[in-house]
Structure 1
Amino acid sequence: MSVDPMVYEAQFFGFTPQTCMLRVYIAFQDYLFEMMLVVEGVILKKLDGIPGCKISPFQIRKSTEKFLLFLKDHFDKLFSKMEQVLLQLVLNIPKNVLLPEDKVHEQYPYSKEEFQALQAEIQQLQQQCKAEVSAGQALRAELEEQKAVRAELEKVLQWFDGLENACREHGTGDFKESFAFLLNNSRKLQAVLKEVEEKSEKIKRLDSLL
């Protein structure tokens, strides 16, 4: 069988020419074996009809196998010539012929170095795209964080506006004095709360002892 991989032919036909020839060879060989079995069966029937025949079936089988080897040897030689003809003339695509899907390479030829440079440029562009996507995601996350901070600041400003209006309604015009007053009262409330909690703890301890 041929050792040429014939990759281009395999691309066109959908199978390798060598595989095709191998299947044809096996089909012919199987047919030859089957034919010899039929011939052997006919000979045995003919011998059974001859009275006093001294030829045994074992001798017929040896003669059949010998004749089969003779035919197979000649068949292999003929098939080898047929294979050369088919692979060179029938199943062979000339070097100057391009398949339709490969004609674009003829219109836009590239050398190996140009192709490698193009691949390097594509990889660089892909990395740039990935970097831009990452930067965009970081910017979107930062914008979301800024929105959340802005919302909290707006709440604080609204709280201060409400506090200032409350101070005005209760006759306190100076916002700083009002804020200091509220802060002082808040500290007093925290102290009272702490004192209440301490007394509550003492009462609980007394209850547990009782």
Structure 2
Amino acid sequence: MAEQVDDPLCVDDAYAVQFFGFLPQSLLNGIYNGFWEYLQEAMAALNESILITFKGTVSETELQEVSHKRGKIAIDRLDRKFDKAENYLFKNVFSIPDHLVLPSDRPQVDNPCTEEEMIMLDDDIKHVLDRIVAVKYANAQLQDRLVEMQSLTKQLDSTLHSIEKMHTDVAAQSHEMRQTVNSYQHVTTLLDRCRLDSTSS
């Protein structure tokens, strides 16, 4: 069977993103964070103004204590007000009617799959995934063989180079030996002539 989503909120969020083009909760979180930052900036500006205006009358420590208490009260009020606004927006603005079906989901509503069709679809998906795994494994094996072939090719090139060098060396030595033999034969011929001349005399 196809994998089911256990958390219904995930389904609702995904549907909301399709319908609105954004996630409402993310939008509201951004608005809240904006309010919170403005509140912090306003409190910091107020504290700075009080320190300048009442310099020498109010210490910075006293002001921080009062500011902390005042800030906590302001944030609590912001949370309560924003919770009410959030509930209203989710109920009246960011709600999706139960009867509404998005165009992307219309084919599933018009042509619902039976349980048997879902099983067949799951089997097809599994078969495709198995083939993908098999192809990846075969590619990995081929890559290993390619690396081995490249290594063997390098070794063969090195061997051929050594053989060619040996052939060159042997050819040079053979040439030197032929020259030596020719020189020996020439010397032998000269010696033979000298002997004949000596005998004739």
Q: TM-score, normalization: structure 2? A: 0.51
Q: What is the distance in 2 between the residues matched to 1:29 and 1:66?
A: 16
1:119 corresponds to: 121
* CA 115–69 in structure 1, closer or farther in 2 if over 3 Å, else same: farther
1:1-210 correspondence runs (5 A): 4-5=9-10, 6=12, 7-48=14-55, 53-111=56-114, 113-119=115-121, 122=124
CA distance in 2, matches of 1:100, 1:120: 24
CA displacement at 1:28 relative to structure 2: 0.9
Q: Percent identity?
A: 28
* 1:117–1:55 distance in 2 versus 1, CA, 3 Å: closer
Deviation at 1:84, TM superposition (A): 1.1
Q: Secondary structure at the match of 1:102?
A: helix
Which structure has the larger Rg over C-alpha atoms? 1
The 3 A distance-change label for structure 1 pair 114 and 67 is same
**How large is the RMSD of aligned CA atoms in angstroms?**
2.7
For these two proteins, the number of residue pairs brought into alignment is 119
Structure 2, unpaired ranges of 5+: 1-7, 129-201
Contact 2:19–2:102 (Cα < 8 Å) also in 1: yes
Following TM superposition, by how much is the alpha carbon of 1:122 offset from its aligned partner in structure 2, in angstroms?
Answer: 4.6
CA distance in 2 between partners of 1:14 and 1:120 (Å): 30
Could you tell me which runs of 5 or more consecutive residues in structure 1 were left unpaired when the two chains were aligned: 127-210
Distance in 2 (CA, whole Å) between partners of 1:124 and 1:43 is: 70
The alpha-carbon deviation at position 59 of structure 1 amounts to 1.1
- Residues 16 and 23, structure 2, Cα contact 8 Å, conserved in 1: yes
